[in-house]
C-alpha cells in the first residue's frame, strides 16, 4: 500500500478528519487480542475461523474484524471483545467462534459463553462491568483495544500523532520540557527518576554534539511483560513519544532497543517505523517544519544486564554489555560519548498522554510525588493473572483481592514479590501498603519495572531467594568481583540451606556477604542482587530457621527435605501408580497404595493427579 | 583546581584526577588489585572503594574510576568501607589462595580465614593482562569472553593469536600467577606468613618447606654458610 507523504500539519489534520468522518462507530466489530499471550492460547485459530466465516456468510460489509495487541486479561485468553456494545467473551474455542460470528451479525449476545463472576456465579455481559477491568484505570492499556498495531491509519483515526504534530508546529522545545516536568512523571523502568528533569539535563547539553534518545525495551525481569504488550500492541505510541521528546530536548537520533526474545514486538516496530517514515511523520523535515528525527531499531542478544543503562549503551555500540561507573552520566557522555537520555517503554507511552490531556490533568491521577498510572504484570498464585493498570498509591490489597480475585486455590496468599530480581517480597500483613516508589523502598523492595508475583503457602521463601540468586548469578556480567563471586557464593549458601546442609553460621555469613555486595557492586544489578535474600530474611526468617534447625521445608518445596506419603484417604484407584515416572508407587486396586521412598524423586506427579487428597507432602 | 576533603583534610588537585590519585597524593594508602599506574582504570576488584557523601545518601564507589568533584567528602577507611574490603578479601582468598598478592592484602587487613567453600582458580578476572596487552604492548591479543560464571580471558575463540608477540607482559602483570605461594598443603595455605611472621631468615628451620619471597638481605647470605 503506497502512502502519500504528508507535507504539512494541514495535510495531517485533513487526513485525520477524513479518517474520523469515514468511520462508523456503530458497525459491530469483533476485536481479537493477538499479542504473544493471545497467540500462545490460540488466537490465531480464532482469527482464521472469523475471517473464514465472515467471507462465507458475506458479512464483510456488515461486521468488522480488528486484530489488536494484548488487552491484559491474560488468564482468559483467547478472548474476544465485541464493540460497540462492549461484550466480553472469555476463553473462546474455534466452534464458539462460529456461533459468535453469527450472533454478532444478528446483534445478539450468547449468554452461555459470557464471563461468570466466581463470587456470584452470575454471567457478566460487558467488559466494563467485570471487576478485573472496572477497578483499573486503563489509560494506556485501553488504547490497545482500539488500535490495530500494524495500521498507522487506525492509530491516526484514534487521535494518534495529533500530540506530536501540535507540538512540532505550535509549541517551543522549552514548553515541552516544562510540561513533562509539571506532570511529575517518573521513569517507569524501576528507578523512578523524574523524566522532566532528565530531559532538562539533556536539553542543557550544548557542546554541539548530536543528542540521542533511547527507548529501553530490554524488559528482562522474569514474569514482567508490560513493555511487551505496549511494543506489540501500540508501537506508534512509542514513536510519537520519542518525537515529542526529541523536539523538546534537541535530539536528532533515536534508538529503540528491544530484547531479541520479543519477535512479535520487533516485527510490529519495523512495520510501524516504516509506515511513519512513508507518511512523513518521521525522518527528514517532518510535516515541513524543518525538524528531523530518525529512529533505528537495535536488537538485544540475550543479556539481562543490558537493561542497565550503561551496559545498554555498550550493547548499542556493538560491545559486550558491561556497565561502567557513573559519573559521567549518559546525559553527559552516552552512546559514542554523545549526550544520551534513556527512558523505559512505558515512560515513552505516557508522553503523548501528557501532551493530549495536559500535565495538570495527568498529575491528578496518583498520589503526591507519584503521578499517573503504572502497569503491573500480576502473575503467580492469583486467580486473575494478567496485566493491570492502576493509579499510583493504590494498595496492594486492592490489587490482589479487588482486581486479582484472590488466591487461586485453598492456600492463603503469603507474600507478593515486586521489582523482579532486584526487588523483594512483601508479606501479607503489609498488604495495606500503598504502591509508590517511596513506600516500597522503605519496605525493602522496589517498584521495579512492574512485575508482581503472588505467592501462597505452598511457596518456599528460601526456594524463591535461591531462584532469584540463580538467575542473577547467570546474568551477572562478571566484570566486578563482588557481584560475580558474591552471587555465586550466595547461591551456594542458599542451595546448601535448601538441602538441609545449612547452619546458623551460614545465615550470618549470608547476611554479611549480602551487605558487602550491596555496598560495593558497580551497577544496579549487583547492588540490588541481595534484595530478594535480605527481604526474605527480614520477613520470613522463620522459614530459613525451619530449614536449618529442623531440616524441614514448611511449604513442602525443597526436594531434599520433603517426603511424599499416601494417607488413609487413598481409595486404591491406581491413578498415581500410573502417573509415577519412576515406578515408585505400588499397590493393588481398592487397596491403599505405598510410595517407595528410595525411588521417589519428589516430582509431585502423584499429588497432581490424586482427586482424594491422599498424597501428603511433609 | 578542584578542592575536596579526604578523611577530613582538604586537598586541591587538577580536574580529571581520580579520588584514588588524590588520596595517594596525600600519602593515604588505599588498597588496589586491578589498578596499575600507566593502564586505564577498570574498577573491577572493588577493593579501592571509598565512602562518599554524607547521611543516608552516602555510598561506596571505586576511587580508581571516580573523578574528583568540588566539595566531595571522602572517607577512605570508614567502618562500612573496612567491612566491605574484608568481605571482598575473604571472597578472593576463597577463590585464589595461592596468590601472594592476595595473601599479603588479606594479612594486612587482619584476615586469616575464609568461610566459603575453598576453590583454587587461576584467574580473578581483574583484566590487568587485557589492558596491558592492549594499551602498553599495543597488541590486543587477548580479551574477555562470556558472562558471569563463564567469563574468562583468552584469544578470540581460543584460536592461536597472530598478533601475540610472546612478550610475557600479561604474565608479568598478573597478581594471581606472579609469586605463587607453594606451601605444600593447599588447605593451610592461608597462613598470613609472608606478611606477619618473623622473617624466615631468623628461624629458617621451621619453615624449611616454604618458599620465601622476601627480598634477600645480608642475614640470608651469611646463614647459607
Q: Which residues of B fall within a CB distance of 8 Å from A492?
A: 116-117
Interface test with B, best of A320, A329, A484, A503 (most B CBs within 10 A): A484
Tell me whether B66 touches chain A (CB under 8 Å): yes
Torsions phi, psi for A539 (to 5 deg)? -105, -20
pLDDT tier for residue A615 given thresholds of 50, 70 and 90? confident
pTM of structure: 0.90
Between the alpha carbon of residue A512 and those of residues A534, A536, B140, the distances in Å are 10, 15, 39
Percentage of residues of chain B with pLDDT beyond 90: 54
Lowest mean pLDDT among A214-218, A378-382, A603-607: A603-607
Instruction: Report yes or no: A577 and A589 within 8 Å, Cβ to Cβ.
Output: no
CATH topology for A367-456 is Ubiquitin-like (UB roll) (3.10.20)
Q: Which residues of B fall within a CB distance of 8 Å from A480?
A: 43-46
Torsions phi, psi for A116 (to 5 deg)? -110, 125
Per-residue confidence (pLDDT) for residue B225, from 0 to 100: 47
Q: Which of A325, A328, A489 sits opposite B61 (nearest CB)?
A: A325
**CA-based angle B154:B160:B166, to the nearest 5?**
80
Neighbours of A560 (CB within 10 A): 12
C-alpha–C-alpha distance, residues A331 and A309, integer Å: 11
Strands B49-52, B73-75: parallel, antiparallel or unpaired by DSSP?
A: antiparallel
Contact residues for A104 (Cβ-Cβ < 8 A; gap 6+): A28, A30, A63, A82
Q: Which of A325, A487, A489 sits opposite B65 (nearest CB)?
A: A325
Mean pLDDT value of segment A534-560: 93
Instruction: Report yes or no: A374 and A350 within 8 Å, Cβ to Cβ.
Output: no
Q: Residue ranges per domain, chain A?
A: 25-131, 160-362, 367-456, 461-549, 563-617
Per-residue confidence (pLDDT) for residue A169, from 0 to 100: 92
Say yes or no: do domains A160-362 and A563-617 share a fold. Answer: no
Q: Which residues of A fall within a CB distance of 8 Å from B49?
A: 519-520
Per-residue confidence (pLDDT) for residue B59, from 0 to 100: 94
Contact flag A476-B148 (C-beta cutoff 8 Å)? yes
Instruction: Report yes or no: B46 and A325 within 8 Å, Cβ to Cβ.
Output: no
Contact flag B49-A484 (C-beta cutoff 8 Å)? no
pLDDT tier for residue A324 given thresholds of 50, 70 and 90? confident
- For the stretch A297-301, contacts whose Cβ atoms lie closer than 8 Å and that sit 24 or more positions apart, written own/partner, are A297/A255, A297/A256, A297/A258, A297/A266, A297/A269, A297/A270, A297/A273, A298/A255, A298/A256, A298/A257, A298/A258, A299/A257, A299/A258, A299/A259, A299/A260, A299/A266, A300/A218, A300/A257, A300/A258, A300/A259, A300/A260, A300/A261, A301/A260
pLDDT in tens, A280-321: 999 999 999 999 999 999 999 999 999 999 999 999 999 999
Instruction: Report yes or no: A320 and A305 within 8 Å, Cβ to Cβ.
Output: no
Structural domains in chain B, sorted by start:
2-77 (3.10.20.740), 82-120+178-224 (no CATH), 128-173 (3.30.70.20)
Contact flag A478-B66 (C-beta cutoff 8 Å)? no
CA A237 to chain centre: 17
Instruction: Report yes or no: B50 and B74 within 8 Å, Cβ to Cβ.
Output: yes
Tell me whether B91 touches chain A (CB under 8 Å): yes
pLDDT in tens, A469-488: 999 999 999 999 999 999 99
For domain A461-549, give the CATH number: 1.20.1440.230
3-state secondary structure B131-180: HHHHHHCCCCCCEEECCHHHCEEECHHHCCCCCCCCCCHHHHHCCCCCCE
Contact residues for B174 (Cβ-Cβ < 8 A; gap 6+): B128, B129
pLDDT tier for residue B202 given thresholds of 50, 70 and 90? low
C-alpha–C-alpha distance, residues A567 and A616, integer Å: 7
CA B140 to chain centre: 22
Tell me whether A520 touches chain B (CB under 8 Å): yes
Contact residues for A498 (Cβ-Cβ < 8 A; gap 6+): A460, A462, A463, A466, A547, A553, A558, A560, A561
Q: What residue has cell string 534537541? A: A250
As for the ipTM of the complex, it is 0.85
Q: What residue has cell string 523505559? A: A344
What is A160-362's CATH number, 3.40.50.11540, 3.30.365.10, 3.40.50.720, 3.40.50.300?
Answer: 3.40.50.11540
Q: Which residues of B fall within a CB distance of 8 Å from A494?
A: none
Torsions phi, psi for A143 (to 5 deg)? -65, -25
What class is the A25-131 domain?
alpha beta
C-alpha–C-alpha distance, residues A399 and A380, integer Å: 13
pLDDT at A270 over 90: yes
Per-residue confidence (pLDDT) for residue B208, from 0 to 100: 53
pLDDT tier for residue B180 given thresholds of 50, 70 and 90? low
Tell me whether B44 touches chain A (CB under 8 Å): yes
Q: Which conformational region is residue B78 in: left (phi greater than 0), alpha (psi within -120 to 50 degrees), or beta?
A: beta
C-alpha–C-alpha distance, residues A238 and A254, integer Å: 11
C-alpha–C-alpha distance, residues A536 and B35, integer Å: 36
CATH 3.30.70.20 applies to domain A563-617: yes
Of these ranges, A211-215, B110-114, B156-160, the one predicted with the greatest mean pLDDT is A211-215
Amino acid at each position: 500500500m503506497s502512502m502519500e507523504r504528508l507535507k504539512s500539519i494541514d495535510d495531517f489534520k485533513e487526513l485525520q478528519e477524513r479518517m474520523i468522518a469515514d468511520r462508523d462507530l456503530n458497525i459491530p466489530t469483533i476485536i481479537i487480542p493477538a499479542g504473544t499471550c493471545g497467540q500462545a492460547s490460540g488466537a490465531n485459530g480464532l482469527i482464521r475461523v472469523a475471517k473464514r466465516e465472515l467471507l462465507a456468510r458475506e458479512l464483510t460489509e456488515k461486521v468488522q474484524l480488528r486484530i489488536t495487541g494484548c488487552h491484559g486479561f491474560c488468564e482468559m485468553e483467547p478472548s474476544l471483545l465485541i464493540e460497540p456494545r462492549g461484550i466480553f467473551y472469555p476463553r473462546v474455542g474455534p466452534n464458539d467462534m462460529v456461533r459468535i460470528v453469527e450472533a454478532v451479525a444478528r446483534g445478539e449476545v450468547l449468554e452461555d459463553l459470557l464471563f461468570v463472576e466466581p463470587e456470584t456465579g452470575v454471567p457478566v455481559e460487558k467488559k466494563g462491568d467485570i471487576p478485573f477491568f472496572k477497578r483499573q484505570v486503563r489509560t494506556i492499556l485501553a488504547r490497545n483495544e482500539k488500535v490495530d498495531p500494524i495500521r498507522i491509519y487506525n492509530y491516526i483515526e484514534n487521535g494518534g500523532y495529533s500530540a506530536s504534530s501540535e507540538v512540532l508546529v505550535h509549541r517551543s522545545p522549552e514548553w515541552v520540557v516544562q510540561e513533562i516536568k509539571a506532570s511529575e512523571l517518573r521513569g517507569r523502568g524501576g528507578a523512578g527518576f523524574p523524566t522532566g528533569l532528565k530531559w532538562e539535563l539533556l536539553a542543557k547539553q550544548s557542546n554541539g554534539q548530536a543528542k540521542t534518545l533511547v527507548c529501553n525495551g530490554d524488559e528482562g525481569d522474569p514474569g514482567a511483560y508490560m513493555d511487551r504488550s505496549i511494543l506489540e500492541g501500540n508501537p506508534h505510541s512509542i514513536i510519537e513519544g520519542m518525537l515529542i521528546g526529541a523536539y523538546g530536548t534537541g535530539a536528532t537520533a533515536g534508538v529503540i532497543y528491544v530484547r531479541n526474545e520479543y519477535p512479535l514486538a520487533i516485527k510490529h516496530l519495523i512495520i510501524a517505523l516504516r509506515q511513519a517514515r512513508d507518511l512523513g511523520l518521521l525522518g527528514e523535515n517532518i510535516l515541513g517544519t524543518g525538524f528531523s528525527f530518525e529512529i533505528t531499531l537495535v536488537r538485544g542478544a540475550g543479556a539481562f544486564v543490558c537493561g542497565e543503562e550503561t551496559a545498554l549503551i555498550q550493547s548499542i555500540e556493538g560491545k559486550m554489555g558491561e556497565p561502567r561507573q557513573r559519573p559521567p552520566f549518559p546525559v553527559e557522555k552516552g552512546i559514542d560519548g554523545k549526550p544520551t537520555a534513556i527512558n523505559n517503554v512505558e515512560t515513552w507511552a505516557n508522553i503523548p498522554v501528557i501532551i493530549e490531556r495536559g500535565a495538570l490533568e495527568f498529575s491528578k491521577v496518583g498520589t503526591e510525588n507519584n503521578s499517573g498510572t503504572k502497569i503491573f504484570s500480576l502473575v503467580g498464585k492469583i486467580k486473575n493473572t494478567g496485566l493491570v493498570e492502576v493509579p499510583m498509591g493504590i494498595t496492594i490489597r486492592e490489587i490482589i483481592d479487588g482486581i486479582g480475585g484472590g488466591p487461586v486455590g485453598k492456600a492463603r496468599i503469603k507474600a507478593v514479590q515486586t521489582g523482579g530480581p532486584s526487588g523483594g517480597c512483601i508479606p501479607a500483613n503489609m498488604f495495606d501498603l500503598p504502591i509508590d516508589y517511596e513506600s516500597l523502598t522503605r519496605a525493602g523492595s522496589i517498584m521495579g519495572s512492574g512485575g508482581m508475583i503472588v505467592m501462597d503457602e505452598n511457596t518456599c521463601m528460601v526456594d524463591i531467594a535461591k531462584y532469584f540468586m540463580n538467575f542473577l548469578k547467570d546474568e551477572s556480567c562478571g566484570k566486578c568481583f563482588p557481584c560475580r563471586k558474591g552471587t555465586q557464593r550466595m547461591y551456594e549458601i542458599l542451595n546448601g540451606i535448601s538441602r538441609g546442609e545449612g547452619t546458623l553460621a551460614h545465615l550470618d555469613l549470608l547476611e554479611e556477604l549480602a551487605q558487602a555486595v550491596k555496598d560495593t557492586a558497580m551497577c544496579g544489578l549487583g547492588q540490588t542482587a541481595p534484595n530478594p535474600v535480605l527481604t526474605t530474611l527480614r520477613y520470613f526468617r522463620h522459614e530459613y530457621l525451619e530449614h536449618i534447625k529442623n531440616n524441614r521445608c514448611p511449604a513442602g518445596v525443597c526436594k531434599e527435605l520433603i517426603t511424599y506419603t499416601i494417607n488413609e484417604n487413598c481409595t486404591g484407584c491406581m491413578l498415581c501408580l500410573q502417573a509415577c515416572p519412576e515406578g515408585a508407587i505400588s499397590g493393588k486396586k481398592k487397596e491403599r497404595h505405598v510410595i517407595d521412598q528410595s525411588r521417589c524423586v519428589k516430582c509431585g506427579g502423584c499429588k497432581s493427579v490424586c482427586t482424594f487428597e491422599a498424597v501428603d507432602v511433609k | 583546581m578542584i578542592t575536596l576533603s579526604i578523611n577530613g583534610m582538604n586537598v586541591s588537585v587538577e580536574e580529571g584526577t581520580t579520588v584514588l590519585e588524590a588520596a595517594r597524593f596525600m600519602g593515604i594508602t588505599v588498597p588496589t588489585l586491578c589498578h596499575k599506574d600507566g593502564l586505564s582504570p577498570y574498577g573491577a576488584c572493588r577493593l579501592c572503594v571509598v565512602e562518599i557523601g554524607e547521611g543516608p545518601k552516602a555510598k561506596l564507589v571505586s576511587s580508581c574510576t571516580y573523578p574528583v568533584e568540588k566539595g566531595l567528602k571522602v572517607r577512605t577507611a570508614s567502618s562500612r568501607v573496612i567491612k566491605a574490603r574484608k568481605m571482598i578479601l575473604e571472597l578472593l582468598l576463597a577463590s585464589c589462595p595461592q596468590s601472594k598478592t592476595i595473601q599479603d592484602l588479606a594479612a594486612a587487613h587482619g584476615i586469616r580465614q575464609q568461610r566459603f567453600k575453598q576453590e583454587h582458580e587461576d584467574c580473578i578476572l581483574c583484566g590487568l593482562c587485557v589492558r596491558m596487552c592492549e594499551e602498553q604492548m599495543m597488541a590486543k591479543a587477548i580479551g574477555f569472553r562470556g558472562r558471569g560464571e563463564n567469563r574468562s580471558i583468552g584469544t578470540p575463540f581460543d584460536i592461536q593469536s597472530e598478533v601475540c608477540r610472546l612478550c610475557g607482559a600479561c604474565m608479568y602483570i598478573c597478581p594471581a600467577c606472579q609469586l605463587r605461594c607453594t606451601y605444600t598443603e593447599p588447605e593451610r595455605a592461608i597462613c598470613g606468613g609472608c606478611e606477619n611472621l618473623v622473617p624466615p631468615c631468623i628461624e629458617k628451620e621451621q619453615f624449611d618447606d616454604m618458599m620465601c619471597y622476601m627480598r634477600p638481605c645480608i642475614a640470608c647470605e651469611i646463614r647459607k654458610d
